[in-house]
Amino acid sequence: MQRVVFPNKILPYVLVAPQIVLTIVFFFWPASQALYQSVMREDPFGLKSGFVGLANFSAVLSDESYLNSLKVTVIFSASTALLSMGLALLLATAADRVVRGQTFYRTLLIWPYAVAPAVAGMLWLFMFNPAMGTFAYILRRNGFYWDPLLNGNHAMVLIVVAAAWKQISYNFLFFVAGLQAIPKSLIEAAAIDGARGTRRFWTIVFPLLAPTTFFLLVVNTVYAFFDTFGIIHSVTGGGPAKATETLVYKVYNDGFVNLNLGSSAAQSVILMAIVVALTAFQFRFVERRVHYG
Amino acid sequence: MRVIGLSTTVAAFGALAFQAEAATELQWWHAMTGANNEMIEQIANEFNESQSTFKVVPVFKGTYPETLNAGIAAFRSKQPPAIIQVFDAGSGTMMAAEGAIVPAMEVLQKGGFTFDKSQYMPGIVSYYSKPDGTMLSFPYNSSSPILYYNKDAFQKAGLDADNPPKTWPEVFDAAKKIKTSGAAPCGLTSTWLTWIQTENFAAWNNVAYGTNENGLGSSDVKLEVNSPLYVEHFQAIADLAKDGVFRYGGRTSEAKQLFTSGECAIMTESSGGLGDIIKSGVNYGIGQLPYYEGHGPQNTIPGGASLWVFAGKSDEEYKGVAEFFNFLSQTKVQAKLHQVSGYVPVTMAAYEETKKSGFYEKNPGRETPILQMTGKAPTENSKGVRLINLPQVRDILNEEFEAMLSGQQDAKTTLDKAVERGNAAIAAAISN
C-alpha cells in the first residue's frame, strides 16, 4: 500500500482530536467506571463502599435469572432481526417492481424509522393493551385469550413486533439500494435462459444481496441488543415474571430499581465482553463467506 | 412632580427586581398523576401566593420508583432537589441513608417551628419515625386500601348494592355471581397486589409478614408470607383467575382502569385512587378492606408517600422547606387534601374539622380509611413493614404472582419461592 505522508506534523492530530475526545468522554470513561464499580459493593447513595474482588461476577453468573435473561435476549434478538429483515426484503422487492409512484411508496415506508423507541412501544401498547387496546378487544371477542400482562409468550410477541416494525424502514432502505446495485443484465440473461421469478430471486438476487444482508444482520443484532430498551420499558417493563427481561433491561433493573450497583456494573462488563466477542465472530467467520460482488 | 414620579418608578422597579431575586426556589420532585397532580400544582401555587420569599416548584419525575431513583441519582451527582416525595416502600431505603437526608423534625426546628407530635395522626407519624421518636419525613399523602364496588353491576347481579361484602370468601362469592350473571365481564381485580394483598393483608388479618416485627425491630428480616392464611388467600385468587373471575391489571395501580371502564365490578385499591374514580363517573360504593373471619379486622398500615428533605442544602432553603411543611400542616390545607383526593388527613385537627363539617354524613364511606388505620391499637404484625430493599422484594413477589396467575404454579409454590428469593435479596442488601 502507498504511504501517505502529511507535511504538517500537528494538523492530523488536531483533526482527529474531536473524535478522540468524544470516544474518551462517551465510551472509555463510562466503561472504566463500569469496570471500577463491578469490583465494588456500594450502598445506593454512595455513602460507603468497599472492594469485593470478583464477588459480583460470581453472584451474577450463578444467578438463575441471569441465565434466563440471556435466553430471553437470544430469542428476542433473533426473532426481531429475522422478522424485520424478512419483511423489509419482501417490501423492497415489491417496491422495486412498482413502476409508478415509487418515491411515494418508499417515503411512506421510511416513516416508522423516525419514531422514538418509547413512542413506538406506546403505539403498540395502545393497540394491544388488554385493558384498553382496540386490537386486544377484537382478539378476545374472537375467542383468543390475549393477555400480555400475564402470558410471557404474548408479551414477547408484542415487543418483537414493535421492535421489528420500527426497524423495517431502515432495512428496507438498504435492501432497495442493494437491489438497485444488481446489474439488470444478469437478471435479463437469467430470464432469457427461462428462470422464473422465484428462481431468479434465490439464485441471483439473494446471493448478490449477501453483503447488504450481512451488514444488516450486524446492525439489527446490535439494535435488538441495545436500542430496544425504550420499547421494553414502556410495553412490558421486563415482565410478566421476567419473560421479557433482556440483558440490557436487567442491567437497568438491578442498578436503578433494585439499587444493586455492583451487580449491575458486573453485568454491563459481561455485556461488553459479549458484544466484543459477537462482533469479532461475525466479522471473522461470517464475513469471509459473504460473496462481495 | 416629574422627579418624584420617576423615583417612585425606579423604586418600584427596584422592589420588583429585588423580589424576583430573593425568592428562593425549592424543587419538589413528585410522582403524582391525574387528579392528584392537579392537587400538587394547586397547593404549590397557594403556598407561593401566600408569601414571596420562597417559591416551591413541583416537578413530575415519573412513577414512585422512578422518582426515588431520580432523587438518588441527583444526590450522587450533588444536585438533589430540596423536597422529594418517596413512596411507602422506599421509606426503608431513605431511612438507611442517614448521611443523605435531614429529618423533617429537624428541618421544622431550623425554620423556627416547634414540632408537636400530639397534633398529628399517631399511626402515620410513628410509621415515618425512628424508634427514638424523631420524625424523619413529612407525611404528605397517606392512604389505606379499601374496597370499591360498582353499584350498577351489583344490582344487575342481584346483590345488595348498599352492603358490600365484608370478608374475602363473601367477596369471592359476589365476584363469581357477577361474572356468571353477566353483570360485568370480570368480578374482581386489585391494584398493588404486594401492598394490598401481602403487606396490608398481614396487618389487617394480624398475621406476620416477616420476623422482627416485619422489620421495624431490626433490618435482619426473614419473610413469612408463605404461612397458611396467605396460601389459602392466594390459591383462591389463582382459582378465580383461571375462570376469568379475577383479572390482573399490572404491578402498580393499572387495574384502576379495569374498574373505571366498568370491566371489573369489585376492586381493592388505595383510598387515594378516589379522585380518578369520581372523575370516571362510575356509580361506585366504598367498603372496608375485606378480611378473614377469626383473624381480622385489626388495622391497616399507612401507604402512599411522604416528603423527604435532602442533606447538603443551604440554611435559607431549609427555612423555606420548614415554611412549606408548616403551610402543609394547616388545617384548611389538610382538610382539602383529604376531602378532594381521598388521602387520610395527617393532623388530628383536619380530621376533627372534616367530621364537624358533616362531610362524612354526606359522603358515606369516606371515613373508612381513617377508621381502618386508627380503629385498633396496632400489634407487632400490624405496625408496618420496613425492609431496606422493599421495592426489590415487591418485584420478586410480583414476578411470582404473575407466574401463578398465568397458571404456571400453585399458590404454595409461588409463596415458597417468593420467600426464598426475597430472603436472599434481603441478606444481600444488608451486607451492602
Mean pLDDT of chain B: 89
A149 interfacial to chain B (CB closer than 8 Å): yes
**What total of structural domains would you count in chain A?**
1
Asked if B72 and A45 come within 8 Å (Cβ–Cβ), the reply is: yes
pLDDT at A1 over 80: no
| Residue B277 to residue B257: CA distance in whole angstroms | 9
A241 interfacial to chain B (CB closer than 8 Å): yes
pTM for this predicted structure: 0.81
**pLDDT value of residue A268:** 93
Asked if A47 and B402 come within 8 Å (Cβ–Cβ), the reply is: no
Burial class (CB in 10 A: 0-12, 13-18, 19+), A48: exposed
| Residue A153 to residue B422: CA distance in whole angstroms | 25
**pLDDT value of residue B31:** 93
Asked if B392 and A41 come within 8 Å (Cβ–Cβ), the reply is: no
Q: Which residues pair with residue B29 across a beta bridge? A: B59, B84
Higher pLDDT, A73 or A132: A73
Give yes or no for a contact between A83 and B137, defined as CB atoms under 8 angstroms apart.
no
Q: From B258, which residue of chain A is nearest by alpha-carbon distance?
A: A131
Q: Which segments within B126-208 are labelled E, that is strand?
A: 138-143, 145-150, 186-190
Q: From A41, which residue of chain B is nearest by alpha-carbon distance?
A: B432
| Residue B22 to residue B20: CA distance in whole angstroms | 6
Domain presence at residue A27 = no
Cell (9 digits) for B63: 412513577
Asked if A43 and B258 come within 8 Å (Cβ–Cβ), the reply is: no
Q: Which residue of A45, A256, A263 to mutate against B (max B Cβ within 10 Å)? A: A45
Q: From A46, which residue of chain B is nearest by alpha-carbon distance?
A: B76
pLDDT at A274 over 90: no
pLDDT at B323 over 90: yes
Cell (9 digits) for B251: 404491578
Give yes or no for a contact between B145 and B255, defined as CB atoms under 8 angstroms apart.
no
Strands across the sheet containing B284-287: B186-190, B264-270, B145-150, B284-287
Domain presence at residue A64 = yes
Asked if A259 and B400 come within 8 Å (Cβ–Cβ), the reply is: no
At A3-46, the pLDDT tens digits run 667 678 888 889 999 999 999 999 899 999 999 989 988 888 88
Among the partner residues A131, A240, A253, nearest to B254 by beta-carbon distance = A131
Range of the domain at A127: 57-289
Domain presence at residue A49 = no
A30 interfacial to chain B (CB closer than 8 Å): no
Q: Which residue of A41, A43, A150 to mutate against B (max B Cβ within 10 Å)? A: A150
pLDDT at B14 over 80: no
Give yes or no for a contact between B285 and B162, defined as CB atoms under 8 angstroms apart.
yes
Higher pLDDT, A1 or A269: A269
Domain presence at residue A177 = yes
CA distance A140 to chain B (A): 12
pLDDT at B10 over 60: no
Q: Which helix (H) or strand (E) is B354 found in, with range?
A: helix B348-356
Asked if B399 and A241 come within 8 Å (Cβ–Cβ), the reply is: yes
Domain presence at residue A14 = no
Instruction: Map out the domains of chain B with their CATH numbers.
Output: 2-143+303-357 (3.40.190.10), 145-300+377-430 (3.40.190.10)
In chain B, residues with a C-beta closer than 8 Å to the C-beta of A260 are 392, 428-429, 432
Asked if B389 and A47 come within 8 Å (Cβ–Cβ), the reply is: no
At A206-261, the pLDDT tens digits run 998 988 898 898 889 888 988 889 899 988 888 788 899 999 999 998 888 888 88
pLDDT at A66 over 50: yes
CATH number of the domain to which A123 belongs: 1.10.3720.10
At A94-123, the pLDDT tens digits run 887 776 777 888 788 888 888 888 888 888
CA distance A258 to chain B (A): 5
A134 interfacial to chain B (CB closer than 8 Å): no
Q: A63-72, A199-208, B119-128, B210-219: which has the minimum mean pLDDT?
A: B119-128
At B97-143, the pLDDT tens digits run 888 999 999 999 988 898 888 888 877 888 888 878 888 999 888 88
ipTM for the whole complex: 0.74
Share of chain B above pLDDT 70, in %: 95
A42 interfacial to chain B (CB closer than 8 Å): yes
Give yes or no for a contact between A222 and A274, defined as CB atoms under 8 angstroms apart.
no
- Residue B225, CA atoms < 13 Å, CB-side half-sphere: 35
pLDDT at B18 over 60: no
A259 interfacial to chain B (CB closer than 8 Å): yes
Domain presence at residue A7 = no
**pLDDT value of residue B383:** 86
Give yes or no for a contact between B328 and B335, defined as CB atoms under 8 angstroms apart.
no
Give yes or no for a contact between B247 and B270, defined as CB atoms under 8 angstroms apart.
no
At B215-262, the pLDDT tens digits run 888 889 999 999 999 999 999 999 999 999 999 988 888 899 899 999
Q: Which residues of B touch A (CB under 8 A)?
A: 65, 69, 72-73, 75-76, 93, 96-100, 248-251, 254, 257-258, 261, 263, 389, 391-392, 395, 398-400, 402-403, 405-406, 408, 425, 428-429, 431-432
Nearest-CA neighbor of B184 among B242, B262, B241? B262
At B38-96, the pLDDT tens digits run 999 999 999 999 999 999 999 999 888 889 989 998 998 889 999 999 998 888 889 88
- Return the exposure string of B153-181: e unless at least 16 CB atoms fall within 10 Å of the residue's CB, then b: bbebbebebeebbbbbeebbebbbbbbee
A58 interfacial to chain B (CB closer than 8 Å): no
**pLDDT value of residue B13:** 45
Among the partner residues B75, B402, B408, nearest to A239 by beta-carbon distance = B402
Give yes or no for a contact between B245 and B179, defined as CB atoms under 8 angstroms apart.
yes
pLDDT at A128 over 90: no
**pLDDT value of residue A286:** 65
